[in-house]
Amino acid sequence: MHRTWLGPVRSRFAASGLTLDDLVGRSGYSKTRLSELLRGKGYYPGWEMTYSVVRVLNLPVAPLRRLWQMAAAEADKDATWIKNRILDVQSGDPDDQPVAHLGLAQAMRQPYTAYAQSFLQAGPRAVQAVTETFDILWVTWDEATASPHTPRYAWELLRARVLARAARRPGGYPDLRAAAFCTTAPYEAPDLVEQLAQVDIFARFFDAIARLPADQRDITVLRYLCGIDVDAVPGIVGLSPAVTHTLDHHARWALKELFPDTEPQE
């Protein structure tokens, strides 16, 4: 999770045609320090050096500063150290956020956050994963818009950021069982024993959802855990309505075989 910002920086450096010596000459930092920064090795780099590389590579500063800041906190850097490193740099004019990126972020923030919270439970962790997704998307916007379908590119990026933070079961799939405690259905039972039994059923049901293939799992989580309208799901995951319907159908039948009494209904 540390140094999430490095991926886009490395990619832009590789595509720039610049050599490490070029980067040394334009940034003013030594080859050793820049090599450590690009490889993610050694001490955690300050924002001043990171900023110099970002400017040389003509990357947007604001999203990369947020990514650097989040990664520094995850690397257990003190909040005062992070604040002071940012204050060391006098930033120039604000970045021009692509209008299409802004529109996508505004439209998708709520469903993305609901999806993230299904896996991460804690609201701040979900918000952080979504913020990180939109910042990486901004930094890689040229790549995103060159892809066959930008919403699909964005969704796969979100899924990767959420699953990177999610707890895992021994089989390697994400752990959705905690979501059973957040649904209201088990607590409608008349007594505590029945409520606990219902929670156990839902926990096993959500565990079965987690085992589904990625696209089937995503659609099931959005529809039945997040309560997203069926007509909105294709636009969120970046798939056609026909493909989304087929994936939903396969997922529901797979779950019905395991839990015939708790299969989600249309």
**What is the pLDDT at residue 190?**
53
**What is the pLDDT at residue 6?**
87
Six-digit token string for 229 = 């309208």
Q: Which helix (H) or strand (E) holds 68?
A: helix 61-74
Rounded-to-integer distance, Cα 23 and Cα 34, Å? 8
Q: Find all residues with CB under 8 Å of 95, minimum gap 6, and list them.
A: 60, 61, 62, 63
pLDDT along the chain (266 residues), means of 10: 80 92 93 90 88 93 93 91 90 83 97 94 91 95 93 97 92 84 51 55 83 94 90 97 95 81 50
Q: Classify residue 238 as left (phi > 0), alpha (psi -120 to 50) or beta.
A: left
Rounded-to-integer distance, Cα 98 and Cα 172, Å? 37
**What is the pLDDT at residue 2?**
62
pTM above 0.85, yes or no: yes
**What is the pLDDT at residue 213?**
94
**What is the pLDDT at residue 181?**
63
Six-digit token string for 26 = 């334009």
How far are the Cα atoms of 115, 172, 215, 239, 251 from residue 218, in angstroms, in the given order?
A: 8, 16, 5, 12, 10
Is residue 75 within 8 Å of residue 44, measured between CB atoms? Answer: yes
